[in-house]
């Protein structure tokens, strides 16, 4: 029940630490596990992973006691359910803004196998039977539900979005949020930090996890943790490689007088 334990922790305000990983090769798991993360964030929104690759990653991480949490490409309830069936123990739904989106997801993550009209009744608070209530609670106990908050409209609606008790936490997507606020990639701007603070505060008021996926240095990450973040996704394997490889290779070349001219490769989206 490591999914359940993680959900309980972030609701209680304890801090958990993870990283984003998108490399679908078996031995990679050992490299990530060395850092002893509490969970991994497998992002299928921006990364080219096949269903079976995600399934294997989830199975292996969960067997190692590291909670596999998968971001799906769209807030589609069917996709959330099949991803959980494949072995994910948590779902991050991208760019959530409306209660209707949350309703689809909380059904998918926490009330299966109910669907259709019966699920609608249950989401409205009607019970089928005490037996089925117990069954569903047990069946879905290990599923974590996280929603991405990445816009001003989502911040404005956050109290309503967190009305749903099934949402275990929120996750800030800083790139999208900064663009939505009109200050692209300005992660130190006061408006950006204020928006982050509001999201963290509301999450904690509602006793949900306050999450951030960021790729900054130690000081920046500590700042977010001190602002209330307790579900920290530190960087991504893809970004760690890009940034450290570039910086180290350039440092070595510079020492030897071999620095190449011009600019590097294409940009990457997270």
Q: Residue 57: what are its φ and ψ, rounded to 5°?
A: -60, -45
* Comparison of 125 and 269: residue with beta carbon closer to a second copy: 269
Nearer to a second copy, 81 or 102 (CB): 81
Contact between residue 270 and residue 175 where contact means Cβ atoms under 8 Å apart? yes
Phi, psi of 39 (to 5 degrees): -155, 165
Residue 113: both structure tokens together: 């196998």
| Least distance in angstroms from the C-beta of 72 to a second copy | 9
For residue 148, what are the β-bridge partners? 171
Q: Rounded CA gap, 206 and 169, in Å?
A: 9
Task: Considering the complex, state which of residue 81 and residue 91 has its C-beta at the smaller distance from a second copy.
Answer: 81
Q: Closest approach of Cβ 34 to a second copy, in Å? A: 4
The minimum distance between CB 63 and a second copy, in angstroms, equals: 3
Q: Which element (helix H / strand E) includes 232? A: strand 231-236
Residue with Cβ nearer a second copy (149 or 162) = 149
Cα–chain center distance at 223: 19
Burial of 83 (0-12, 13-18, 19+ CB in 10 A): buried
Q: Identify the three-state secondary structure at position 172.
A: strand
Number of other residues whose CB lies within 10 A of the CB of residue 152: 15
C-beta closer to a second copy: residue 139 or 201: 139
Considering the complex, what minimum distance in angstroms separates the CB of residue 218 from a second copy? 5
CB of 214 to a second copy, least distance (A): 11
Q: For a second copy, which is the closer residue by CB, 179 or 193?
A: 179
Nearest-angstrom CA–CA distance, 174 and 187: 7
In the complex, the smallest distance separating the C-beta of residue 266 from a second copy, rounded to whole angstroms, is 5
């Amino acid at each position: 029940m490591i999914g359940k334990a993680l959900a309980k922790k972030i609701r209680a305000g304890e801090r958990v630490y993870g990283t984003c990983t998108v490399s679908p090769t078996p031995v990679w798991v050992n490299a990530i596990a060395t850092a002893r993360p509490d969970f991994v964030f497998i992002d299928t929104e921006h990364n080219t992973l096949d269903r079976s690759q995600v399934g294997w990653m989830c199975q292996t991480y969960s067997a190692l006691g590291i909670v596999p949490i998968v971001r799906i490409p769209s807030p589609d309830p069917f996709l959330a359910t099949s991803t959980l069936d494949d072995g994910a123990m948590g779902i991050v739904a991208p760019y959530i803004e409306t209660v209707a989106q949350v309703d689809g997801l909380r059904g998918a993550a926490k009330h299966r196998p109910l669907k259709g009209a019966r699920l609608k009744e249950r989401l409205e608070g009607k019970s089928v039977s005490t037996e089925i209530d117990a069954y569903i609670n047990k069946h879905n106990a290990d599923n974590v539900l996280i929603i991405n908050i990445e816009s001003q409209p989502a911040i404005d609606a956050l109290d309503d979005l967190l009305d749903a008790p099934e949402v275990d936490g929120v996750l800030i997507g800083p790139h999208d949020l900064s663009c939505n606020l009109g200050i692209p990639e300005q992660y130190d701007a006061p408006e950006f930090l204020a928006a982050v603070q509001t999201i963290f505060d509301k999450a904690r008021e509602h006793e949900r996890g306050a999450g951030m996926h960021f790729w900054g240095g130690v000081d920046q990450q500590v700042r977010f943790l001190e602002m209330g973040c307790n579900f920290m996704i530190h960087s991504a394997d893809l970004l760690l490689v890009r940034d450290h490889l570039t910086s180290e290779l350039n440092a070595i070349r510079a020492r030897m007088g071999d620095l190449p001219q011009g600019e590097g490769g294409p940009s990457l989206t997270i």
